[in-house]
Homo-oligomer: A and B are copies of this chain.
């Protein structure tokens, strides 16, 4: 019976070169967060379908790979809808599984709980270049820490990790949903229209101040509010260095003074502890799409990328929606696939790989000599080298060239007639 050689549509085989980089990135991530007291967790790749379709997942809920019911549970003769056919689904992110995990295992977890998850997620998206239906996410979360120590640790750990991966001169942009709201309120927008305003504000990067202004007006917001709102951002452009100070003074009573102190403390603590080259920037135009954020929000911008390569924020109300009990929560999601892609494109060399040595053994080597050769290989491996033992091909020159493309730099030939050696 013929086998289809291609992987499932929209998914990909990972070849040795990319795999080396993925393994390396995973190792750096695990090692780094470990030194901050984070512990790894893992949940099954499938969740009960109800957990995936409760509106927390937004658009992603339309992209679920659903799993067919099994055995007697599947009754084709009476099935009317997809819901009759499927009881499980592939997870589309790591947030829903984390919250379920936390509510299931809370009694056996440290408090606060510092979790690291790396694993595949699935989305039945329209296949397109560079975007796959199975891809890895990497989430780091602190549950049960109400103070900004969570933000400080998350940002310090994440920037340390990026530094170890060789990234320099990147930016951490930070803002707070409370500042976003205070600015909109100060300008005179109604609270019900905040989300609409923020969606437009989020385009600032692409369409600029004037674009945002036109867009707001075309959405029938009052001219006076739009003007007042835009004046805030114009003022901020003139206060790049002390934006937080400026906005706090300008907003006056509209903004709780605690919010400024909260962000100031995060920025100064992260700056003090930093173990990588990056800038920490207050960015009042930073919105972050998900409406579940309740406080601080942040994003990583690496110049080599067009856009962001990860971000996160505080979401103190989400766990409670599931468990009935509010739990302070703050998380970071790192753009694992983008980082791997960038390192691949840069032809990244993994540090401290050890020497790569190839033994080429002529055919029909007597058993005793073979034993000696294997012993020599073992000894060299024990010293930390990579030793490939391979049969010598007739075209030895071509064989060595091939091995060189795999990174082998030293060769040792073993002939049956040992005088040839």
Number of interface residues of A (CB under 8 A): 115
Q: Are B374 and A43 in contact (CB under 8 A)?
A: no
A375 contacts the other chain (CB 8 A):
yes
- Distance, CA A389 to CA B112, complexed state (A): 11
Answer whether A50 and B100 are a contact pair too, CB < 8 Å, given A20-B39, A35-B385: no
- Distance, CA A118 to CA B377, complexed state (A): 25
| Interface segment out of the listed A144-152, A202-210, A245-253 | A144-152
Q: Are A391 and B3 in contact (CB under 8 A)?
A: no
A81 contacts the other chain (CB 8 A):
yes
Q: Are B3 and A273 in contact (CB under 8 A)?
A: no
- Contacting residues, chain B, for A54 (C-beta < 8 A): 1, 3
Answer whether A80 and B76 are a contact pair too, CB < 8 Å, given A8-B47, A42-B13: yes
A412 contacts the other chain (CB 8 A):
no
Number of copies: 2
- Contacting residues, chain B, for A147 (C-beta < 8 A): 363, 391
Majority-rule SS of A interface residues: mixed
| Chain A 400-417 near chain B by CB (<8 Å), digits 1 or 0 | 001100100000000000
Q: Are B41 and A105 in contact (CB under 8 A)?
A: no
- Distance, CA A134 to CA B55, complexed state (A): 26
Q: Are A35 and B82 in contact (CB under 8 A)?
A: no
| Chain A 18-57 near chain B by CB (<8 Å), digits 1 or 0 | 0110110001001000111101111111111011001100
- Distance, CA A391 to CA B322, complexed state (A): 26
Q: Are A268 and B156 in contact (CB under 8 A)?
A: no
A residues adjacent to B (C-beta < 8 A): 1-8, 11-16, 19-20, 22-23, 27, 30, 34-37, 39-48, 50-51, 54-55, 65-68, 70, 74, 76, 79-82, 85-86, 88, 90, 99-101, 103-105, 108-112, 114, 120, 124, 134, 145, 147, 149, 152-153, 156, 160, 261, 264-265, 268-275, 322-323, 354, 356, 358, 361, 363, 367-368, 370-372, 374-375, 377-378, 381-382, 384-391, 402-403, 406
